[in-house]
Structure 1
Amino acid sequence: MTSRVFCHLVAKIERLCYNHFLPPDGSLSYVIKAQMSSKSFQSEERNILLMGPPGSGKTSVGRILSDKLGMPVIDIDDDVLERVWGMPVADKLAEVGGELFLEEEGKAVCNLSASGCVISLTGSNPLHTDAMRHLKRSGLALYLDVDGDDIIERLSRIKVNRIVGQGDGMSMRDILQYRKQFYETWADTRVLCGRGDSVEQVAEKALQVLARYQDSESDTYTSTRSHVLRKNGSTNDPKFFSDVVVEGLAPDGGLYVPTKAFAKLEPSQWLRLASMSYPERALAILEKCIHPLDISLLELRSMVNQAYGRNFAKESVAPVKHLIGNQYVLELFHGPTASFKDLALQLMPHLFAHCLPRMCNYLLLVATSGDTGSAVLSGFDSLGAADRQRVGVLVFFPERGLSLAQKLQMTGFKGNARALGVLADFDFCQKSVKRMLADPSFTGHLAVEYTTVLSTANSINWARLLPQVVYHASAYLDLLRNGVLTFGDPVDVCIPTGNFGNAMSAVYAKQMGVPINRVICAFNHNCVVSDFISTGQYDLRGRKLSLSSSPAVDILKSSNLERFIYHVSCGNSNLVRDLFVRFEDEQVFAVSEYLLQRIQQEIQAGWCSEENCLAAIQDVYSETGYIMDPHTALAKVVADRLHDRSCPLVLCSTAHHAKFAPAVLKALRYPYIPHDPLEQLNALSAIGEAQRHDALFKYLRESGRERHTVCEADFGVLTDQVESMIQDSFLKVL
C-alpha cells in the first residue's frame, strides 16, 4: 500500500468516526458495522427523526414515510407526551409555562426507547440537548426546512395555541427564526422545501434525501479519462468528494467530474432561494453536491458562513448591478484580493483542510496567470494555526506579464505560503504543476522522505471549481428578486475566460436548473479556445502567447476544456482520453462535426483586440460612469457582438479595475500614469471614488515590496524549489 493510499484510508476512517455519534463505549467497531449493514433503514434498526418548526408537516410527512417505507410511526405529541402526562400538550404548556414545559418534555423523550421507526418530533424537542442526544443515538435526523411564509399561513389557518414562546411577546416569525439554529445544529441532512410545497411534495423530497443519505456511494467521482465502470455507473475504485479534493488531479492525468449528473433544484426551491442571502444560497447548492458523510451539514454551514462573511466588502458578496439596456454586471471582486477567485478560494481551504488525513503534510502547487495566486495564499492564510502547520502553498507565476499590483499581492507571503516568479508563461507553469502531480517517482519520493503529499488549488481541483457554480445561480436569483425576470425566463452570461473554469461552472449551474440560455466566452488575442469553438480544431502548433492588459486570459492550454468536452460528449471518456493524450504529443486535435454542433449549442465565443478592449473601458465610463477592468471590457465587447438581446445578459466582472490600474488609466486617457501602484490607485480613486476597493488599498499600502525568487523555465529547477520548500516547512522523517 502506497503512502498516499494509506493516508486516504486513514482519512476515511477519521471522517467515519467524526460524522457519527459513537456508542457509550466509544467502540469504533460499532460505527463501522452500522455503515456496512443492510441498506434498509428498518434492518439497521435506525429511527428516522423528523425535525422542523410547528406547521412544517412533521406528523403528516411521518405518516406518509411510514407507509412508503413500511416502518412504524411515532408522533411525540400524541404517542409519548399525552400518554405520559395524561392530558393534552396545550393544557400542559398552559399549566407549567414554557421553560418548565421544555424540561418536562425533555424528560419524557429521554425515556423513549424505539428502533426502526419514523419519529415525528415536536417543534421544541431540538431545544433540549439531552433529549436530542438520546434520540440521535439511534436516529437519523431530517430537518424539514419549510418556507416561513408557508408555515405562518398554515398555523394561522389551524389556529395552533401550543407553541413554546407564543404569547411571550414574540411574533411567530421571531419564534421560527430563533428555533432555526437548533434544527440546523442537530440535522444530519436537510429537506429543502420549495415555496408552496404540499405535504405530499415535502414527503417526496424527504424520501429522496433519505435515499441519497443511505446510498453514500451514489455521490462518486470519475476521471474525464476513465473508462472502467461498474454496473451502477461508478468506477471500480470509487472516489468520493473528500478523495478528489485531496488528490486534485486524477492519476490518469484526467480531471475529476461527478459520476452522475448534478442534482437539480426544482423551480419552487429556486424561488425560495431568491429571498436568501449569498451564504444561504451557497449552502443550499453545495449540500446538493457534497454528501453529508464527507462533510456534515453543520460543518459545511460553518465553512460557508466563515468564507462569505466580513472578508467581503459587500454584504451581498457578489452583487448584480444594472449597466445599460438589458446588460447587468455581476461584480465578483469584493473579496480580499479583488478578484472572482476569492469566491472559491475563501471556501476551498476549509474544505481541503477538513478532508486531509491528520498524519500527513500537504503541499499545494498552484500555477497562476495573476489572480489565482493571491487568492489561494489569502484563503489558506485564513486557516487555523494547526492546519497551517501541515498545509503549505507554493505558487508559480510568470515573472513577466502580471500587473505590479498582482505581483505585490503574492510576494508578501512567507513561510508555508510563498510565490515564485518563473521566466516563462502561464502555460509552462501549469504544465509543470500537472507534470509533478502525475509523476509517481517524484510524488512517491516526497511521500516517503517527508510524509508530504502534493495537490493543487487550481481549477483542475474540483473543490476550486464547485463554489463558482454558486455565483452564477446567485446572479439569476438577484435578477429574479429584483423583478427583472420571472423564474423560467432565460438569461445569457458572458464570461472572460482563460482556463475555462468560470465558463464550466456556468454550464454546471445550468445543469442544476438555472435557466441560463447561452454561455458566451470572451477572449483576448490569445484566442485559441475561441478558434476551437468556431472550427472544432484545437491547434497550438506555431501559436505563441502574447502578453496583454488582461493577463488572466493570457492562456493557450485551457485545462477545463477537458471537462467541457466530457460534458458535451455525454461522458465519452474514451474520446476525451484519445483527444488529450494526442494533444499532449502533437499539440493539435479536432472534434467531429456532430460534437462541434453540440459545443456551439451551449457555448458562443469571440475575442477582442487590445485597442477595442481599452476603448470599451472609456466608452462605458463616458456613458455610465462605471469603470470596468480589462477582463470585464473583453466581455462587454464580445457580448455586444454576439448577444441577440432576446433576454437579459449578465457580464461577469472578474476583477476590480484597480488591479490593472495602468491599463485602465491609459484607457481613461489619464494624462500621467504614476509608476507606484499606490499612487495609481489614488489616481483611479480621484476618478471613481465610489468604486474604490479598500482591501486592495490596504494591502498595497502595507506591502514591504520584498524581493522574491525568480526561476528559470526549467522543470528540474521547479522540482528543486518544491523539495526545498518542503524541507523548510515540514519536519523531515529520518
Structure 2
Amino acid sequence: MPSGFLCSLQSTNTMSKLLFSKSLVHSKLRKLWFSTLSSLVGEKNLLLMGPPGSGKTSVGRVLGHKLGCPVIDVDDDVLERNWNMSVSSMLQNVGDEQFLEEEGKALLKFSASGSVISLTGSNPLHARSMEHTKKNGIVVYLDVHLEDIIERLERMKVDRIVGQRSGISMGDILKKRKHFYKKWHDVRVFCQTGDCIEVVADKVIDAVKRYQNVESETFVSTRCDASKVDTNKSPSKFFSDVVIEGLATDGGLYVPEKGLPKLTPGEWGRLVTASYAERAQIILEKCIHPTDVPPVVLGEIIEKAYGENFACNNIAPIRHLSGNQFILELFHGPTASFKDLALQFMPHLFAYCIPKVCNYLVLVATSGDTGSAVLDGFGRLSDLDKRRIAVFCLYPENGISQVQKSQIIACQGENGLALGVNSDFDFCQNAIKEMFTNPEYTGFLTAEYGTTLSTANSINWARLLPQVVYHASAYLDLVSQGVITFGSPVDVCIPTGNFGNILAALYAKQMGVPIRKLICASNQNNVLTDFITTGLYDLRERKLQQSYSPAIDILKSSNLERYIHLITKNGHLVNELYSQLQSEGCFQLAGYLLHHIQQDLVGDWCSETDCLSAIYSVYDATGYILDPHTAIAKVVADRVQDRACPVIISSTAHYSKFAPVILQALRIEDIKRSPLSQLHMLNALHPLPPAHTSLLGMLKEREIHKSHICEDDPSHIMNHVENCLQNVFLKGH
C-alpha cells in the first residue's frame, strides 16, 4: 500500500484531511505505474501463466501480433536452447525435483523486456525464479476449466506432467498446482468453456487494461452531487479508501461509481462445482481492483476467513425445507449468525488496507448479531494488528436476547470493548454517525490518541460486499444439486431491518445471478414493507417495538440509501431525500421510482403470534427449528411467493441464540433457566440443525468478562470511547 508512511507526518488534523492526502499520494503513485497498454509492452513483460494445456503458447503468439512485440516461449526459447535437449527428455533423465531446480536455474539466468512470455506450466513451482521473472512483468493467469485442460492434454497425447506419480491422476496434480498459480498472479483471465484463442487474447488485453486503469473503479458517496464536485480538491476514492473511512464525510455511504461487474452465464457455470472459498475468490477479484488488494493477498484473507472457524465445510449450505422452499443456512460461523460471513473476512482486509503505523478505532452499533461477530472477527487478527486496531461496540441493553448479550460480553478481548446503552438500536446507530461526522471530535482523537475512526457496520462497503458471495453461492448450490439448471429463476426471501442483507442479494442479481424477486420480510417494525408498498418512508409517530426477532428491530434502515442511489444514480436527489428525512421524519418517492422498486422487491410483515406458530409447525412437520428471524421470512414467503420457482429463505441466525422464544414456541414449560440450561433443553430434542458448539463455548466463558452499561447520553459514550483507547493504545506506554 502506498499509504503506509502517512502517519509519520505528525499531523493533528482531522481524519478527512489525512485521507485526502492519502488519496492524492495513492492516485499519483498508481498513475506512475502504467498509463497505456503500449507503455506496458514498451517497458514490461507480459507473463502468461497457467497449467499445461491452458493455451499459453498459442495465446502468446496472438498477443505478440496484436501488440507488435516479441514472443518468447520458455519451453522452446529458453529451456531447450539452454539444455540442448527437449523438455521431455530432461524430465525423463533427471526426475521431478531435479527438473524443477534445473528449470528454475535457467529462468534465473534469463532476462527480457517488452515481450510476451509464455511460462511453462511448472515455472510457478520454483519460487526464486518466479520472483526474478515477475520483477519485470505482469503475471496473467489463464484460468481454464479443469475438464477443458484434461481434454486438451489427452488430445495432445500428454500423459505425464511434473509432479505426477503412479496412482496420482492428471486431474489431482492440476488441482494441487492451483495453489501456486494463485500465489503469483497479478491478474486472472477467467476463461469459459469454448473460448477460442482470439477471445482469450482479447480477455488478456482487457485484464491488463483494467490493471493499469485504476481510475475506472472509483467510489462515490450516495449523497455526492457530481455537478458540484471539484476534482482538484476531491481526489478519487478507491476501494482501500472506503474500507478505511467507512462513512463518507458528507454523511452518505460509499458505492462503486460504475456499479458492480457482471459475470457471464459461462463464468457462473464454471463456479457451479467450485468450493465456497473459490467462488469468493473469483467474485471478489472482479469487484476489488488488483492494485488495491492484490489477488494473492485476497486469497490469503479468504483462506483465513472461511477455514476451520466455520463448523460446516460448505460454509453457507442450502437445505431443502419443504415444497419449493430452501433454507440458506448462514449461521455456521463462530458467533452463529450471517454476520460472520462478512466479519470473518473484513477485519483482515481492514488490517491490510490501513496505514501500518496508525491506530484505528472501529465503531459499531448492533441490533443483536453484529456486535459479537465484529468483536470475534477483529479478535482473530494477529497480535501486531490487535495493538493498532481496537473495536468499540454499542448495543441496546434491553433490546437484544440474553444469549446475544452473553455473546457480546464473552467476545470482548484485549482489543475490544462492548457498551450497553439504555436505549434502542436507532439511538446507537445515530450515536456512531454523530461521532463520525463531528470534525472537532475526530480531530481530538487524532491529536490526543493518534487514532482514526472507522466502522464495521454494513455502512462500510467492505462489510456489505462479502455478503454478495453467499447469495450467489446459494443459487450455484441449487444448480449443483440438480434442483434447477443455470438460468432458471429463483426468488429470495430475507428477514431484514437495516436492508444490508437484501441489498447484497440485489447486487448478486446485478452481477448476473438469475434472481427474479427479492422478498423483504419484516416484523411489526415494518417501515420497509410499507415503503415498498407506498414509496413513503415515514418515521413520524413510529416507535420501535421490541420483538422476538431483535436483529430486525430497526426503523432507520441505513442501506436503503444505497438502493435508492442504485436505482436513481442521482446523489443530489438522495441528499435531498435524506435531508428531508432528518428534518421532517419522512420522504416520498416519485411514482416512477416506486414502480422500479416494485419490479425488484415485494414485502410483507409477520406478527409475533404468526412467528411462534411457524416455528412450531415447521418443527412438528420436519424436525427443523427456525430461529425467530427465519420464521418471519418463512411466514412472508408462504404469503407472497407464487410457487412458480424455488424460493431461498435466508436463515440469518442459529435458533440457539433465541432459546427462550424457541422453547415458548415449542410449548415447553419451565423455561426460566440460565441460557446454558435452556440450550441443553433444546439439544435434548435432537433437532435439526444440531447444537452450535461455538455458541455453547462462548456462554461458558461469559463470566470471565465484564459488562459495561451507560445512559443514552452522547457525552457518556464519548467518555467510554476514550477509556477504550487508553486501555488498548496507551497501556504500557
Normalising by the smaller structure, the TM-score range is: over 0.9
* Alpha-carbon offset, residue 591 of structure 1: 0.5
TM-score by length of 2: 0.94
* 8 Å Cα contact 2:394/2:419 also seen in 1: yes
Number of equivalenced pairs: 720
* 8 Å Cα contact 1:229/1:235 also seen in 2: no
List gaps (5 residues or longer) in structure 1.
17-28
* Aligned residue number for residue 24 of structure 1: none
Q: Secondary structure at the match of 1:542?
A: coil
What is the CA deviation profile of residues 203-225 of structure 1, one whole-angstrom value per residue up to 9, with x for unaligned ones? 23222211111112222111001
Q: Secondary structure at the match of 1:164?
A: coil
- The 5 Å alignment of 1:205-220 reads 205-220=203-218
What is the CA deviation profile of residues 79-115 of structure 1, one whole-angstrom value per residue up to 9, with x for unaligned ones? 2223333333223333433333323322322232211
Residue 505 (str. 1) matches residue 516 (str. 2) = no
* 8 Å Cα contact 2:401/2:658 also seen in 1: yes
Pair 1:703–1:231, CA change in 2 (3 A): closer
Q: Secondary structure at the match of 2:684?
A: helix
* Aligned residue number for residue 265 of structure 1: 263
- Alignment RMSD, CA only? 2.4
Q: Secondary structure at the match of 1:40?
A: helix
* 8 Å Cα contact 1:271/1:487 also seen in 2: yes
Residue 532 (str. 1) matches residue 531 (str. 2) = yes
Partner Cα separation in structure 1 for residue 483 and residue 426 of structure 2: 40
Pair 1:579–1:33, CA change in 2 (3 A): closer
* 8 Å Cα contact 1:42/1:117 also seen in 2: no
* Alpha-carbon offset, residue 707 of structure 1: 4.7
* 8 Å Cα contact 2:20/2:235 also seen in 1: no
Partner Cα separation in structure 2 for residue 406 and residue 394 of structure 1: 16
What is the CA deviation profile of residues 687-720 of structure 1, one whole-angstrom value per residue up to 9, with x for unaligned ones? 2345211111111122207552211111222122
Q: Secondary structure at the match of 2:587?
A: strand
Q: Secondary structure at the match of 1:498?
A: coil
- The 5 Å alignment of 1:79-94 reads 79-94=77-92
TM-score by length of 1: 0.94
Pair 1:165–1:350, CA change in 2 (3 A): closer
* Alpha-carbon offset, residue 65 of structure 1: 1.8
Q: Secondary structure at the match of 2:513?
A: coil
* Alpha-carbon offset, residue 178 of structure 1: 2.8
* Aligned residue number for residue 549 of structure 2: 550
What is the CA deviation profile of residues 262-310 of structure 1, one whole-angstrom value per residue up to 9, with x for unaligned ones? 1111212211111111111111111111112111111111111111111
Equivalent AA in structure 2 for residue 418 of structure 1:
L
Partner Cα separation in structure 1 for residue 640 and residue 425 of structure 2: 28
Residue 656 (str. 1) matches residue 654 (str. 2) = yes
Q: Secondary structure at the match of 1:675?
A: coil
Pair 1:239–1:14, CA change in 2 (3 A): closer
Equivalent AA in structure 2 for residue 381 of structure 1:
G
Equivalent AA in structure 2 for residue 511 of structure 1:
Q
Partner Cα separation in structure 2 for residue 590 and residue 209 of structure 1: 42
* Aligned residue number for residue 112 of structure 1: 110
Q: Would you identify which runs of 4 or more consecutive aligned residues in structure 1 move more than 6 Å?
A: 9-16, 229-235
* Aligned residue number for residue 701 of structure 2: 702
Equivalent AA in structure 2 for residue 243 of structure 1:
D
Identity of aligned residues (%): 56
Match of 2:278 among 256, 261, 280: 280
- The 5 Å alignment of 1:44-193 reads 45-160=43-158, 163-166=161-164, 169-193=167-191
Pair 1:404–1:120, CA change in 2 (3 A): same
* Aligned residue number for residue 563 of structure 1: 562
* 8 Å Cα contact 2:51/2:174 also seen in 1: yes
Partner Cα separation in structure 2 for residue 162 and residue 492 of structure 1: 46
Pair 1:183–1:369, CA change in 2 (3 A): same
What is the CA deviation profile of residues 60-94 of structure 1, one whole-angstrom value per residue up to 9, with x for unaligned ones? 11122222323221111222223333333223333
* Aligned residue number for residue 327 of structure 1: 325
* 8 Å Cα contact 2:379/2:415 also seen in 1: no
Equivalent AA in structure 2 for residue 297 of structure 1:
P
Match of 1:573 among 571, 574, 577: 571
Q: Secondary structure at the match of 2:387?
A: helix
Partner Cα separation in structure 2 for residue 458 and residue 64 of structure 1: 47
Partner Cα separation in structure 2 for residue 587 and residue 70 of structure 1: 62
Equivalent AA in structure 2 for residue 641 of structure 1:
R
Match of 2:354 among 353, 356, 360: 356
* 8 Å Cα contact 1:522/1:634 also seen in 2: yes
Equivalent AA in structure 1 for residue 83 of structure 2:
W
Single out whichever of 154-163 and 370-379 deviates more from structure 2: 154-163
Partner Cα separation in structure 1 for residue 19 and residue 511 of structure 2: 30
Partner Cα separation in structure 2 for residue 146 and residue 105 of structure 1: 24
Pair 1:311–1:10, CA change in 2 (3 A): farther
Q: Secondary structure at the match of 1:119?
A: strand
* Aligned residue number for residue 385 of structure 1: 383
Match of 1:405 among 403, 406, 420: 403
* Aligned residue number for residue 21 of structure 1: none
* Alpha-carbon offset, residue 166 of structure 1: 4.7
Partner Cα separation in structure 1 for residue 22 and residue 297 of structure 2: 16
* Aligned residue number for residue 338 of structure 2: 340
* 8 Å Cα contact 1:222/1:234 also seen in 2: no
List gaps (5 residues or longer) in structure 2.
1-10
What is the CA deviation profile of residues 34-81 of structure 1, one whole-angstrom value per residue up to 9, with x for unaligned ones? 526655344651101000110000011112222232322111122222
